[in-house]
Structure 1
Amino acid sequence: MVELTDGEIVGELAALDPEPRSASVSTIDPSTLYKIEQSTLQILMAEHPEIVQGIIKELAHRLRVTTAPYGFSF
C-alpha cells in the first residue's frame, strides 16, 4: 500500500494506456479528486509539452521508488 499526499496523482498510466489496471484507490480523509478523460489529456499534452515532461518525471520517480527495494539503480 502506498500513501500519497496533497497534490499527488493517481491513474497516470491509465490516462496514457487504456489497458485495465488492477490498482484501487481509497481516501483516508475527505478529499477532492479531479478526473480528466484520456482524449482531453491527449489534447492538453499536444498543446502543452510541459505536461508531458511532468508525467514523465512522475513515472520516473515512481519507477525509482518501486525498484529501490530490489537494489536497482538508474
Structure 2
Amino acid sequence: MTDTPDKTQSSGQTLSARAEAARAERLARQAAALRANLRRRKDQARTRQDHNTAEEPSPATTQPPGNGESKTCP
C-alpha cells in the first residue's frame, strides 16, 4: 500500500489488454477485501466496547451497606 509506481510502468513496458484486465480485477478484489477487513475490525471494536461497558459493575453493588453492617449471614 505504498505510492510507488508499478514495476511494469517504471520499466517502460506496456501491459496487454488481457494483462491490464487481470491487473484491474486483482486491484478490485484487493480493494473489496480491504473494505471487508475494515468493516470486520470496526464491528469487533464495537462489540468489545459494548461488552466492556456491560461488564462494569453498578455503584450500588460495589459499595458496602450504608448502615455499617456487613453482609455476612449470622
**TM-score normalised by L of structure 2:** 0.35
Q: Which has the higher contact order (CA 8 A, sep 6+)?
A: 1
Which of the two has greater helix per residue? 2
